[in-house]
Structures are given as C-alpha cells and as structure tokens.
Structure 1
C-alpha cells in the first residue's frame, strides 16, 4: 500500500519567489523518480532537482507519465518518492490502482494533474496519494511538495539557518551577527544558537562573556558522535533563548576542513533549534561556500569602500546564481562615517549592487569598543540607541517576523479541513 500524509493543495498561482516566512526545510537523502507527460513539467522538476534543498536527494526524470511508471516498476523496486504527471481523471485513478499493485510499502506518491475537483481529491486521498499539484507548476511547487513529505504537516517549521559573513576582513560581521542573534532571542523571543565558525580566532565567546570548555571543535573533529544529545552538551547557555556553539580560538590545531565537514552539525541543529545563526569567517573555501549557499537567508556585512563594494558584488552575483529559487542575499553597511575617511555612499553602493542596504550602521567606536571589552551587546549598553533598533530591524527581516503571514488557500481548503476533522 502506498503510504501518505494528507496535505492541502497549494495555490498554484503563488509567485515563484518565496516570502520571508515561506521556509522549506531541506529533504533528507532520498530517491525521487519523476514520470512526466509534458516538457514544461519535466523542466520544472529538473530545476527543482538543482535546488539546494534537494541537494541530498537523488532525482531521476523520464517521460511517459503513468504508463511508464507502471512498466518501470514491474521488475524494479520503487524509490522513496514517485512524482507522476497525468492529464485525465479516469485514467489517473485506474493507473494508480495498477501502480499500487507494484509499489513497495512506504513509497510516497505526488501527482501532478490539471483537474481542480473536490471529488478527484477525495479519490486521490483514498488511494494514498501524498500530495496533488495542479499544473502548470513551477520549481518551488516541486521543491515544497517533496520536502514537505518529510516534515510533519502541522508542525511549525524549525531550523531556519541564517548566515552572516563579511565582504572583507575587519568590517564587523561577527559583531553584527552576535548582536542580531541577541535581538532574535531577546526581542523576538525565538530560541536561537550562534555557531562560531572561525575556529582559530572566533570572538563569540568573548562577546557573550562565555568561556565554555567545549564547543564546535569537538563536534567537527568527531563527526561519528554527532547527534542531538551530543550537540546539546556542547552548547553554552547565554540567555533564556540564546545558546552558543563556541569556537576554541586556539592555535594548537590547523583547521583545514572538507567541503561537507559541518553538514552533520547543521543538520542536527536544524532538528532542534528554530533559528541557527552562522558566524562565517571571511575566507573562501569549499565549506564556507557550501555554508552560504545552503543557508535559508544570508546577510553580507560591508564597509563603504571600493574593495568591499567589489567583494559584495561578487558574492551577490554568485549567490543569486547558485540560489535561483531563494530570496537574494541582504546586506548592510557598517562603520559608516569614519572621520576624514573617503567613503562610497549608500546610494552608490545600492546602484552597483542593484539592491538597497538593509541598514546603515554608523561608526561609533566608543560604544562598540566598550561592549566588546566588557563582553556585552549594544542593547545591554543602550537599549534605546538607534543602532539597537537597527539590529532588531535586521533580525526581523532575516526571520520574517516583520512581514505579515500570507495565507494560501484554494476552493478545496474547506473540504480538506473537513476531511481532517477541523
């Protein structure tokens, strides 16, 4: 019998670009086979397979629709997920009955059709279909449908990864990351963890006045031990809602890592923590690139000079290209207004990047220096200062808390609610 999880049909007219609150958790390592009828659907599925959230999934596409699927599985095991495109109603139901006879237990089926009908949806649910999408579909429809198969339908999305990186060394990216994380935890009351990825020179422990005996080094050098309990033991509690996975900030070891060295750590944190803030060091390696591309949202911190402008532009271009189905990165200007220093204006920056900075943080060395030396956040020194408000504004944008929730519905929604007993 085909297993299923009942899900609301999505509004197929939704825009391809996700809203800030449209968080789609990545799919695990699963096999997905799609059987398409049209070139347009095949192209959408192919594009979905290149999305970062399906990076671990093994996707295979072939044409032929239902008939090809039934024939393929007469002598071969079925994958974790089958995506089927079908045009007619009668042929679809009859085909599903045949498919069930050759389908392995536990396989989930996503159907793409062109009939938006209550009766058809009832029949699909009765036959154990996991999700039904109405063509034409876009890339995000496919990504969302597959990823949601492995998330609890009614559960609030967890594990939003936010990456903060400097366009150049010394621009204060870590300071921004730590203060934004503080705002997420204290002002938005979200459980959050700061992951200091600068193992040799990280400052998160100093900024939060923490000196934990263990941290991220124990996890990255013992990948076979990484699980929820192990990571929990490594976390240092900063406030009620804020935890820290600290860097050792020592030089006894050389911290050379493979591209996927941090994957198990991030995956484990996603399962337990609603918000994970990655303090990414300013370096370009396989694992830093992977961390940025794999994040749900990205903040680039830049100073107002030419080198920062060039680097920000390069990072924007690469990340937009590598993440075509995600929101573009955000950036902020920091240390603006240094006396007697020539600076590139925010307007010129925005013109070159083709995007406005989220905030422009002024150069205030006395306040920031006192906070750093005392192991405090800016909000602890001056709760009502304009910079404190800027960090809160960044926190709201990155988490989607400043934007109203958009509800998706279709004319089938009342029926689905009734089927669920609501």
Structure 2
C-alpha cells in the first residue's frame, strides 16, 4: 500500500520519531499520544540511518529526529533516503554547528529541550500545513476559508456573498464549496437546487479533470459555481478522506481563480487541512461576551494548534453596531487580531437576502453591508489581509467585565 493510499484510508498523517534509543523515541512519541489524526511511529537510529519508509510499506509524511546526547554526530551520518521527507530536528540548544547542519539537510524546524507537547504539536502542524501548500496540485487560484467563532455568527452568509461578489464585482471565476458536511445549506442561500454534491465529487476525484469538475458544480446565473454538501446520507466527518478533499481542492485551484470554502465550527483533520492551505482565513464573530470568549479560543487554536500565520487571519465582526458597549478597542484587547474588519448591522437587508435566496450585491448593492463585503472581496482577491478597523476608541466600563469573562490580566 502506498503512503498516499494509506493516508486516504486512515485520514492520518504518518509521523516517524527517530532517536538513538527506543526510550528516547517513545518519550517523544508519548507527547503526541493525544493527537488522533497523527499516526506516530518510532525508529531506533542504527549507524546514523533514518529511513522514512520504515516498515517498507508506508512512507512517513514527516520525520522528527531526536539527536539525544549524540548531537550533530547523528546528523553528519544522515542517510539521503530522508532527503525528500519534511524534517523537524530536536537537538541541543546553543549549538550553532548542529543547527546549521540541520538547516542544510532541509529541516523545517529546530527544537531544543525542555520540550512541551504544545510546542511540538504546533511545529508539526505548521510543517504539515506547509507540505499541503507546497504539494497542492493547483497553484494559480486563491483559497479563502471562512469559519465562525460561534454558531449563528453569519459565516455562511459571509462566505456565500463574498463568493458572489468575487464573481460579479471582481470578475473572477469562483467556486464556492460547502464543507459543513451535516448542516450545510449554501445552495439554498442562492435559491439553487444541487444535483451533485461534495460527496459525489470526492468519490470521483481520481477521475476528475478541470472540465469534469465543473460538471459537478451547480451554476448560479451570476456565473458563480457552487458545490453543496446536502446529502440524503448521514456524513460523519471523520470518515471523509482528507487526502481526497485535498486533491479536490487542488483541482479546484487549477480550475478557478478563487475558491471560497465555508467550514463548520470545528477543528479536526479536514478543517486543519483546509485552514493550513488557505491564503486567507476569515473568522466570523459578533459583539458579545460569549462571542469574544469563543473568538479568542478560535484564534488560539488557529495559531497554536493548526499553525496558521497570524497575518493570514482576519477577524470579521458581523452585524457590527458602533454604539454597542463592546467596542473595537475591547475586541482588539481580547483577541489581538492582526487584521480586523467590520460588517455593519443591517438586519432587513440580510434577512431579505437569506429568505429570497438573492445575494446582497443584487438586492442592495449600495447598502453599507454590501460595501463592506465588497471591500473584503477586493482585499482577499488582491492577496492581502482584510482592511483594518477604524481608529481605536476610548475605553468604557465594559473593560472590567471583559477581563473577568476572558481571563485577561
């Protein structure tokens, strides 16, 4: 069985921990025991040879080389069979020669004891994300992922209208993909009825080319192509092949100039893959204590667990009201986003668009809400972060409540 087919079957990335002794390898392996989407294996280094093929059946997607007491001596004997496998080195601190040798061998990261599980997992997520990006079949299109920090924040509304505006306002070829496998209903937001679904495309991904992929899409009159997730079958996210979705995304990026993915509010192997590959991640939230608490948690997960660089993440505050007790100053203090963008509240326009299945750009082109979405579309299409919010506002008494709810010092 090939490494690719094994990943397709198990949805797990194979991580090989190599060390001079079994005890050392198992110590590092134990730090990853809680990561269910990682298939962690160990290998005792003999004569300096680290073989990513390990058991002769499945190649590792990532190698962690723990140098132990041998330091750079182990790297000096590095076997070139590992040259094409991403590498993380655990070695002594304050040892420039060993660090330099690790970089020469293509190490993506160099860690030194004392090592925590959090630091190791973060490094692994970052390297695997880079691997996904560098191995993505499609390199021409841009990928924007939309995820909510709290249910009901309006993530699907933002994703749907952003994709439509990219199509009609930015004049791009755009695919909108719904990855909420159990409750996704994006086609309904555009008054569309899908014949084929994401699951149909995944099942046929090995036979698809760009022309065939468009045949699975539902076409909106604007030119936007939509791949919905509504199915008569109950979909269990853990049973969906991450590798197959990865290939589908790569093909979509070959076919379209921009791909917008609406993600469910969860962090798992599938969403981690999409988030790690995205050029832009839009986290949609609102102005409330509970929203801010969950938004802070989402940012911690995206940056610390998934490994998304902060500059790729934009916090989108939907239904923004200037006179709300929670100000942009409070939001910055609680979440510390590098990029903050506001979508003004317009309940009538938004509700009418949802109920009629008519995008806001068609029904209320000049509304402040629509103009804010157009600004986001222009920024993600240009490959830069969403526009920052207006100047900081004066502090209000709500700050003390925020500190209590969010545990801020």
TM-score by length of 1: 0.57
Of 372, 376, 385, which residue of structure 2 is paired with 1:394?
376
1:376–1:271 Cα change, 3 Å: same
Q: Residues 160-179 of structure 1: matches in 2 within 5 Å? A: 160=143, 162-165=145-148, 167-169=150-152, 171-179=153-161
Q: Paired residue for 2:49?
A: 69
| Residue 250 of structure 2: aligned partner | 271
Q: How does 1:258-297 map to 2 (within 5 A)?
A: 258-261=237-240, 263=242, 266-274=245-253, 275-281=258-264, 289-296=268-275, 297=278
Structure 2 partner of 1:156: 139
Q: Does the CA contact (< 8 Å) of 1:184 and 1:192 recur in 2?
A: yes
Shift of 1:244: 0.6
1:330 aligns with 2:309: no
Partner Cα distance (1:61, 1:396) in 2: 47
2:131 to 147, 151, 156: 147
Other structure's SS at 2:283 match:
strand
TM-superposed CA distance for 1:69, in Å, is 0.3
Partner of 1:196: 178
1:347 aligns with 2:329: yes
> Does the 8 A contact of 1:208 with 1:375 survive in 2?
yes
| Runs of 5+ unmatched residues, structure 1 | 1-27, 122-130, 404-422
* Deviation digits for residues 190-209 of structure 1 (CA, Å, limit 9, x no counterpart): 54322234567644223323
Asked whether the 8 Å contact 1:165–1:281 carries over to 2, the reply is yes
Change in CA separation of 1:313 and 1:116 when aligned onto 2, cut-off 3 Å? closer
Q: Secondary structure at the match of 1:358?
A: strand
CA contact (8 A) 1:333 1:357 kept: no
The verdict on how the C-alpha distance between 1:35 and 1:242 changes in structure 2, with shifts beyond 3 A counting, is same
Shift of the 190–80 alpha-carbon distance from structure 1 to 2, 3 Å rule, reads: farther
Which residues in structure 2 correspond to 1:15-414 (within 5 Å)? Answer: 33=16, 67-69=47-49, 77=56, 80=59, 108=84, 132=106, 139=123, 143=127, 147=131, 151=135, 156=139, 160=143, 162-165=145-148, 167-169=150-152, 171-198=153-180, 202-216=184-198, 218=200, 224-227=203-206, 229=208, 232-238=214-220, 242-248=224-230, 253=232, 255=234, 257-261=236-240, 263=242, 266-274=245-253, 275-281=258-264, 289-296=268-275, 297=278, 298-324=281-307, 326-327=309-310, 329-337=313-321, 343-355=325-337, 358-383=340-365, 385-395=367-377, 398=380, 401-402=383-384
What CA distance in whole angstroms lies between the structure 2 residues aligned with 1:374 and 1:309?
31
Contact persistence 2:252–2:259 (CA under 8 A)? yes
How much does 1:160 deviate?
Answer: 3.3
Q: What SS is found at the alignment partner of 1:278?
A: strand
Give yes or no for contact 1:207–1:372 (8 Å, CA) kept in 2. Answer: yes
**Distance in 2 (alpha carbons) for counterparts of 1:367 and 1:133:** 52
- CA distance in 2 between partners of 1:29 and 1:140 (Å): 13
Change (3 A) 1:35 1:395: farther
Across the aligned residues of Structure 1 and Structure 2, the Cα RMSD in angstroms comes to 5.4
Higher relative contact order structure (alpha carbons within 8 Å, sequence separation ≥ 6): 1
Cα gap change, 1:227 to 1:361, in 2 (>3 Å): same
Distance (Å, rounded) in 1 between the aligned partners of 2:294 and 2:15: 38
Question: Cα–Cα, structure 1 residues 386 and 228, in superposed 2: closer, same or farther, change >3 Å?
Answer: farther
CA distance in 2, matches of 1:114, 1:107: 17
TM-score (norm 2): 0.59
| Structure 1 counterpart SS, 2:176 | strand
Corresponding residue of 1:124? none
Conserved? CA contact 1:78–1:107, under 8 Å = no
Over 3 Å counting, the alpha-carbon distance change for 1:76 and 1:198 in structure 2 is closer
**Cα gap change, 1:291 to 1:156, in 2 (>3 Å):** closer
